[in-house]
Structure 1
Amino acid sequence: MSRIFEHPILMRRSARTVRFYFEGKELEAVEGETVAAALIANGIDVFGETERGKPRGFFCAIGKCSSCLMIVDGEPNVRVCITPVKEGMKVQRQFGRSGVPW
């Protein structure tokens, strides 16, 4: 697991764990973190593929690029770097910006 538990500036607000699903696999996240942070903490750093077949992942972390677009609860093109993870959420990789699962 790659989660940061102690940081000199950022304070951890919650220790409550939530469960979500990544391509059918149940994973754990800390309440309040983004989907991208939860995926990375669980060892998943490829969020999809570009139209040219290149892997996409975490890049800007502020919702301005499209590197983190994923399908969340059936909705395509969700920027997971700014989307809080929720209990029971279903997350899938997607191909390009088409909304088609990877």
Structure 2
Amino acid sequence: MTPKLLRTGTPLTITVDGVPVEGVEGQTIAGVLLSHGRQTWRTAPSGARRGVFCGIGVCFDCLLTVNESPDVRACVRRARDGDQVTTQSRRAES
């Protein structure tokens, strides 16, 4: 079940790993993902799952690829209608 958005505003849709996700204008990409119950979207070299940690663009836990640009901080990048988002993995290959 998808949670209902509590904010009002101009709706937008981003695509995350091929799946459409709805948000509203003004939300960060992290905000859009969190509002849909997604708490992690990156895998660290250790295999640990990562998402928002600091929430202000200081750390690098919330990195993802947006419109083919890697290493975008999801906590500070505002979502734009039509953004193509892919999760990243830095997991070491064995």
TM-score (norm 2): 0.87
Once residues 86 and 30 of structure 2 are traced to their aligned partners in structure 1, the CA distance between those partners, rounded to angstroms, is: 12
How many correspondences in the alignment? 89
Distance apart, 1:46 and its partner CA: 1.1
- Alignment RMSD: 1.7
Deviating above 4 A after TM superposition, structure 1's stretches of 4 or more consecutive aligned residues are none
Partner of 1:68: 62
Question: Residues 2-81 of structure 1: matches in 2 within 5 Å?
Answer: 3-5=5-7, 15-81=9-75
TM-score (norm 1): 0.81
Structure 1 alignment gaps of length 5 or more: 6-13, 98-102
Q: Say if 2:42 and 2:89, in contact at 8 Å, map to a contact too.
A: yes
Is 1:89 aligned with 2:69? no
Identical-residue share of aligned pairs (%): 31
Distance apart, 1:61 and its partner CA: 0.6
Structure 2 alignment gaps of length 5 or more: none
Structure scoring higher RCO (CA < 8 A, sep ≥ 6) equals 2
1:39-91 superposed Cα distances (whole Å, 9 cap, x missing partner): 01112111110011000011101000001000111111000100000010011
Report the AA paired with residue 16 of structure 1.
T
